[in-house]
Homo-oligomer: A and B are copies of this chain.
């Protein structure tokens, strides 16, 4: 550690402009970096991946509808024409707010302004078994892992003679009735209805269960009553078993145990039950709320710190309309980042920044073909029109003309063919790494 704290991150161009270091290239961090393009700041964007991930479509990667590359954007490419924005693929170890430094795995970086936008990871609520055996979906890698897991399980199931022994490989259980859980459950059900029986004619699918488990009284908690009810109806129409007010107690990799001691056999437990903000070392404990969010003021500045901001899922601002903080969604992150991009030049000039107010543009979730629910501020609708709205809004949110075009074509193709075609078990050959170790020993 000593070495990293003492050696600066190399090859950062010298600049007279104030340095903004942004940790995390999710919705908030990326939006801020893009909005500071050509402004009088040197922006250094750090992320542990070399791409931005478009989280709302992870479930389509997991269910073989889209390629990871369709919804992942190489950060260097995004900033090709932004001379004042520098990207480094790095892991951040610690913040030293006294020295105004960020310590990464590659050395330290000095900042004038620091923006924390590390987002959130899956929350297993302390259950180590569930963490060990379930499949979360907070990264595109994890989404791809889910896809590979479902396909592998079916390739295994087909070689098992007795139908009762195949059950745990065929059933899919999803925990969490938020948009992610609802969208995953719908997409898995559509795979079961349209694709898997043709791929595996030897298997009987009438006993394959797709179960969606939610602890609360409703799916899509924060949405309107109509949306919640319709989403449930749609899922049930697709054959999903929706279990409300149901708590998962434990999971051993083969069978989910519920609070009432009922068990459901499955090797595929998809975990979308909750998130917890990513932490970073070096900040005072008192800035955190009980659930790990960071208290910020209306300028997104961390309470009690100077020139250090927090955006998106990790931040917590109590507005009058949102006494327990804003929802942890992309819209909030994007609006906070846009606001901060406007405020930073003011702060730099010594002017008073403008306070942040969240403007709720509405929310939506899709369940399946022609099945979605949309709540806009003044109108709520469901079904085909909602589905088209969902498609349009998500397509427009996708970065880059090429990705937008390819996703549009993929969607059109899948719509017409009922056949998302990416059912490939491809992995970069890391296997070779272990073979290599052996070979090196043999030498």
Which residues of A does B touch, CB under 8 Å?
A: 9-11, 13, 49-51, 67-69, 72, 74, 76-77, 80, 88-89, 106-107, 128-129, 131-133, 139-142, 144-145, 148, 151, 155, 158-161, 198-200, 202, 400, 402, 405-406, 409, 413, 417, 419, 421-432, 436, 439-440, 442-443
**CB atoms of A74 and B423 under 8 A apart:** yes
User: How distant is the Cα of A139 from the Cα of B431 in the complex, in angstroms?
Assistant: 12
With a CB–CB cut-off of 8 A, which chain B residues contact A155?
50, 89
User: How distant is the Cα of A133 from the Cα of B436 in the complex, in angstroms?
Assistant: 7
B72, B76, B148: the one within 8 Å of A426 (CB): B72
**CB atoms of B413 and A402 under 8 A apart:** yes
A51 CB, min distance to chain B CBs, angstroms: 5
**CB atoms of B423 and A77 under 8 A apart:** yes
A-B contacts, 25 of them at CB < 8 A, read A11-B158, A11-B161, A13-B202, A50-B151, A67-B67, A69-B426, A74-B422, A76-B198, A76-B200, A77-B199, A77-B421, A77-B423, A107-B159, A128-B443, A131-B439, A133-B436, A140-B426, A141-B427, A141-B428, A141-B431, A145-B429, A148-B428, A402-B417, A409-B409, A430-B430
Which of A69, A417, A431, A439 lies at the interface centre, i.e. has the most chain B CB atoms within 10 A of its CB?
A69
Q: Which residue of B has the minimal Cβ distance to A132?
A: B439
With a CB–CB cut-off of 8 A, which chain B residues contact A107?
159
**CB atoms of A425 and B159 under 8 A apart:** no
A77-B419, A425-B50, A428-B144 as given contacts; A443 in contact with B132, CB under 8 Å? yes
**CB atoms of A139 and B429 under 8 A apart:** yes
**CB atoms of B427 and A430 under 8 A apart:** yes
User: How distant is the Cα of A357 from the Cα of B397 in the complex, in angstroms?
Assistant: 56
**CB atoms of B9 and A159 under 8 A apart:** yes
A62 CB, min distance to chain B CBs, angstroms: 11
A158 CB, min distance to chain B CBs, angstroms: 6
**CB atoms of B132 and A68 under 8 A apart:** no
**CB atoms of A198 and B80 under 8 A apart:** yes
A424 CB, min distance to chain B CBs, angstroms: 5
Q: Which 6 A-B residue pairings sit nearest by Cβ, starting from the closest?
A: A132-B439, A141-B429, A10-B161, A76-B199, A144-B428, A74-B423
A77 CB, min distance to chain B CBs, angstroms: 6
User: How distant is the Cα of A421 from the Cα of B68 in the complex, in angstroms?
Assistant: 13
**CB atoms of B439 and A72 under 8 A apart:** no
With a CB–CB cut-off of 8 A, which chain B residues contact A140?
426
**CB atoms of A440 and B132 under 8 A apart:** yes
A164 CB, min distance to chain B CBs, angstroms: 14
A192 CB, min distance to chain B CBs, angstroms: 15
A132-B439, A142-B429 as given contacts; A74 in contact with B421, CB under 8 Å? yes
With a CB–CB cut-off of 8 A, which chain B residues contact A51?
424-426
User: How distant is the Cα of A145 from the Cα of B433 in the complex, in angstroms?
Assistant: 11
**CB atoms of B132 and A88 under 8 A apart:** no
Q: Which residue of B has the minimal Cβ distance to A147?
A: B428
With a CB–CB cut-off of 8 A, which chain B residues contact A421?
69, 74, 77, 400, 402
Interface contacts beyond A10-B159, A51-B425: sample of 13 additional A-B pairs, CB < 8 Å, sorted by A: A10-B160, A68-B426, A69-B421, A77-B419, A107-B159, A132-B436, A132-B443, A133-B436, A142-B429, A144-B426, A144-B428, A402-B417, A427-B427
User: How distant is the Cα of A155 from the Cα of B144 in the complex, in angstroms?
Assistant: 23
